[in-house]
Amino acid sequence: MKYALILAVTLAGYWLTLSGYLHEPLILFFGAVSVAFAVGLAARMKILDSETVPYLNTAKTLTYFIWLFREVVKANMAVIKAVLSPELKISPSMIMVPTRQDTDIGRTMFANSITLTPGTVSVDVTEDGILVHALLSEMANPDDFMDMGERSGWSVGESSKSDEAS
């Protein structure tokens, strides 16, 4: 019920912002019907959970994006230094980075964060890990990805705790 209410408020706010109709009763009625229909469909599909309605994690997500931006800048400097050096000291390698996320959105955020970081690309995502191509050998240590993995998305048990609280 909590997720249905959060989704309804979010959709209504989004609809009001985009439509700009605040004084037309018929248009407001149609907007309310549209929001109710969308929430009803989501409830009927049984997808109202913390993964589908992630708006309670907005502060955590924004904090993660700020941290990720700093990491992207650091990795960008390392790649620029390696590529512009006269010896061209690149050493491509493939590694398997273990994942602890138990949700699709957590694994997706982790894989996308790896790909956003200069010098690394997520090649394949499985239940157990992410196959990563690294441009430099110093970027190919799976332990270096653990901090990113813990910060990105929900780790094991976190989504079930938030679902139990609802």
> Both tokens of residue 105?
């959105």
The answer to whether residues 8 and 32 belong to one domain is yes
pLDDT tens digits, one per residue of 63-109: 888 999 999 999 999 899 888 888 877 889 999 999 888 778 788 88
**Residue 57 has what DSSP assignment?**
G
- Boundaries of domain holding 28: 2-44
The CA-atom distances, in angstroms, between 99 and each of 11, 37, 115, 143, 151 are: 32, 37, 15, 11, 12
Residues paired with 132 in a beta bridge: 95, 122
The answer to whether residues 125 and 63 belong to one domain is yes
- Range scoring the smallest mean pLDDT among 6-10, 27-31, 54-58, 148-152: 54-58
The residue count for the chain: 166
The answer to whether residues 105 and 135 belong to one domain is yes
The CA-atom distances, in angstroms, between 127 and each of 102, 123, 160 are: 8, 14, 17
pTM over 0.75: no
- Range scoring the smallest mean pLDDT among 6-15, 116-125, 134-143, 151-160: 151-160
The answer to whether residues 32 and 85 belong to one domain is no
**157 has pLDDT over 70:** no
| pLDDT for position 38 | 95
Please give the Cα distance from 72 to 66 (Å, whole number).
Answer: 10
The answer to whether residues 69 and 147 belong to one domain is yes
